[in-house]
């Protein structure tokens, strides 16, 4: 299957309008484990309507373009495609409820060579529908394992500037262990990603997994929870940027350990599953606004 560079680069994404309520914001937070301690006052502000705050990483599920790479006109072998990187910039705090619009464009396509795959990057600007003020910039990279070598017949290949954050070669300054619920994937999919891989045991087994796996963006959200907890004192407005690379899947019910290095307003992190001692998010970077 040959990837079509020009069709993908100029993919006609429609504007996506999305209205979410306080109930949606609370459901997203609950699906990431906020409120597991119902007496924790700082967590309560994300799951209880009194003075409700939206979890910053909820921006990644707002006004998304959906599974557009499955369209046959792209030429992408979507079955062999992996979510490689995720980046989020918050330009201002997300409202607890709002109507937003998402505008998506492909920003680059890079051929890594025959048998080595191709990288497709795209971004979505999430804006307030009334004011058109940009709330968040969401960037994603997909690693298309079945499309390497597409440029051999003369199609372009972009040089995508993606420099992973370097984890400091010293012990972490902070450790944050967050358990995940056995039903976390079933809860998280209610925020928009209904891929059966995360719910149906038969589908998961056909894909080579013993059981349904957790959404990568749910793991990303738990990492955001860890940064909020350790570096932002649960003040949502302080989280400005969070980026990470996906390195392995998580099974719901496992414990996620965020290893965190603080360097002023900059934060470097990685996340591992304690039960398997396996890094699942790597080269993590965040930036927190000062109080």
Taking residues 11-19, what's their average pLDDT? 97
- Residue by residue, DSSP assigns 152-189 as GGS---------PPPPPSS--SEEEEEE--TTHHHHHG
Question: What residues have CB less than 8 Å from 252, skipping those under 6 apart?
Answer: 180, 181, 182, 183, 184, 185, 186, 212, 213, 214
pLDDT tens-digit readout, 179-188:
999 999 999 9
Taking the complete model, does pTM exceed 0.75, yes or no? yes
Count of domains for the chain: 2
pLDDT value of residue 1:
62
**Domain boundary pick from 162, 190, 219:** 162
State the CATH number of the domain containing residue 130: 3.10.129.10
If asked whether residues 110 and 184 sit together in one domain, one would say: no
If asked whether residues 148 and 120 sit together in one domain, one would say: yes
Q: Which is more confidently placed, 175 or 193?
A: 175
21-35, 140-154, 219-233, 267-281: least confident range = 140-154
**Domain boundary pick from 162, 180, 200:** 162
The domain containing residue 56 runs over which residues? 1-162
Distance CA 107, CA 129 (A): 23
206-215, 218-227, 259-268: least confident range = 206-215
Distance CA 75, CA 221 (A): 30
Taking residues 174-197, what's their average pLDDT? 93
Q: Hey, CA dihedral for 56, 62, 65, 69, is it positive or negative?
A: positive
> Which residue in 127, 124, 125, 126 sits closest to 141, CA to CA?
124
Res 84 pLDDT > 80? yes
pLDDT value of residue 79:
81
The residues assigned a catalytic role are 193, 198, 213, 216
């Amino acid at each position: 299957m040959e990837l079509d560079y020009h069709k993908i680069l100029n993919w006609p994404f429609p504007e996506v309008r999305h209205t979410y309520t306080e109930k949606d914001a609370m459901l997203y937070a609950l699906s990431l484990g906020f409120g597991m301690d119902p007496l924790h006052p700082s967590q309560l502000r994300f799951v209880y309507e009194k003075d409700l705050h939206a979890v910053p990483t909820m921006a990644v599920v707002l006004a998304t373009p959906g599974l557009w790479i499955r369209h046959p006109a792209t030429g992408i072998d979507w079955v062999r495609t992996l979510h490689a990187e995720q980046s989020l910039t918050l330009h201002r705090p997300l409202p607890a409820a709002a109507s937003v619009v998402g505008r998506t464009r492909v920003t680059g396509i890079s051929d890594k060579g025959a048998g080595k795959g191709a990288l497709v990057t795209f971004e979505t600007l999430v804006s307030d529908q009334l004011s058109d003020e940009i709330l968040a910039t969401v960037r994603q990279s997909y690693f298309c394992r079945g499309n390497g070598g597409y440029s051999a017949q003369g199609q372009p290949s972009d040089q995508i500037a993606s420099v992973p954050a370097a984890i400091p070669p010293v012990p972490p300054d902070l450790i944050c262990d967050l358990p995940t619920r056995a039903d976390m994937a079933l809860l998280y999919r209610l925020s928009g990603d209904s891929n059966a891989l995360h719910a149906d045991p038969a589908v998961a087994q056909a894909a080579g997994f013993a059981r349904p796996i957790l959404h990568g963006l749910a793991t990303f959200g738990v990492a955001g929870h860890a940064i909020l907890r350790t570096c932002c004192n649960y003040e949502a407005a302080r989280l400005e940027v969070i980026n990470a690379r996906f390195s392995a899947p998580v099974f719901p019910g496992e414990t996620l350990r965020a290893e965190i290095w603080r360097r002023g307003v900059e934060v470097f992190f990685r996340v591992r599953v304690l039960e398997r001692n396996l890094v699942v998010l790597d080269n993590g970077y965040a930036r927190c606004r000062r109080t």
